[in-house]
Amino acid sequence: MKFIRLSLCVICFGSLLIACKSDPKKEEVEVAVEVPKTENSAGLKEELNSGSLIVKAMSTKDTKTFTSALVTTGLTDLLNSEGPYTLFVPSNEAFDGLNEADLKYYLNPDNKDAFGILLKNHIIEGDLGSAEILQETKNKDLELKTLGGAVLMASMKDGKLFLKDAQDNVATLDKTDILASNGKLHILDKVLNVEAK
C-alpha cells in the first residue's frame, strides 16, 4: 500500500508544479513550507511559523499521506485559517489499509470532491483535547459532527479513546494532543467514513 503514499505525493507535487507555473506573477516566500505570496501573505507567513494545523500535519511523519491528500483536494487553506479545529488524522498505515477499490475511487481526479468530503469527515470545529474527550466519555458516548457532515461517536474503554463512524468502523486514537496554533491533531489507526466502492 505504499502505492497510496507515492500516488498522493506525485499528485501533490504535480499540482504544486502546475499551480506555480500557471500564474507567473506569483512569487514564493520561503518559510517552513513554500506558499504563494498574496496580499495577506505576511499574516499567512506568521501563521505558518506559529505552527498551524497544516504545518503540524506536514511535520508529523505519521501523517504524510493525509497531508498529501489535503493538498490534492485543496483543503490546506481551511487548516491555515483561524479555526479552531480538531483533526482526527488517519496514519499513513491506516491509508495503506484501504482496499484497492476504495483507493482507486478516491485517487481518481473525477472524485476529488468525494475525497475532500472523506477528509472533512476527520475534522471537527473546536479545539478538543484528549482530556476533554475522556471526561465527556466517562458515562456516555460523545457525538462529534464533522465538517463533512458525518457523525463520529467517541468512546472510552480501558483508558483508550475510540471513534466510531456510521458504518460501525472503529478507530483508536493512537497519538493525541499534537498542539497547533489553531487547534489540535490526534492520530488514528483507521480511515473512517469510507463509502464502500
For residue 1, the model assigns a pLDDT of 53
What are the backbone dihedrals phi and psi of residue 159, each rounded to the nearest 5 degrees, phi first? 80, 0
Cβ atoms of residues 186 and 86 within 8 Å: yes
For residue 83, the model assigns a pLDDT of 87
| Residues whose CB falls within 8 Å of the CB of residue 136, separated by 6 or more in sequence, listed in order | 142, 154
Report which of 184, 181, 187, 186 is spatially closest to residue 81, judged by C-alpha positions: 181
Task: List the beta bridge partners of residue 173.
Answer: 188
Using alpha carbons only, give the angle 45, 126, 35 rounded to the nearest 5 degrees.
20
For residue 23, the model assigns a pLDDT of 42
pTM of the entire structure?
0.74
For residue 50, the model assigns a pLDDT of 59
Report which of 181, 148, 156, 153 is spatially closest to residue 165, judged by C-alpha positions: 153
The radius of gyration of the chain's CA atoms, rounded to the nearest angstrom, is: 17
pLDDT tens digit at each of 197 positions of the chain: 555 554 555 454 445 444 444 444 433 333 333 333 434 444 444 444 458 999 999 999 999 999 999 999 999 999 989 889 999 999 999 999 999 899 889 889 999 999 999 999 999 999 999 999 999 998 899 999 999 999 999 999 988 999 999 999 999 999 999 999 999 999 999 999 887 55
Instruction: Quickly list DSSP for 119-185.
Output: HHTTEEES---HHHHHHHTSSS-EEEE-TTS-EEEEEEETTEEEEE-TT--EEEEEEEEEEETTEEE
Distance CA 185, CA 127 (A): 9
Residue written as grid cell 483507521: 190
User: What spatial distance separates the first Cα and last Cα of the chain, rounded to whole Å?
Assistant: 17
Quote the CATH superfamily of domain 2-188.
Answer: FAS1 domain (2.30.180.10)
For residue 196, the model assigns a pLDDT of 58
The single-letter DSSP state of residue 108 is: S
For residue 144, the model assigns a pLDDT of 97
For residue 33, the model assigns a pLDDT of 35
For residue 103, the model assigns a pLDDT of 86
Q: What are the structural domain ranges in the chain? A: 2-188
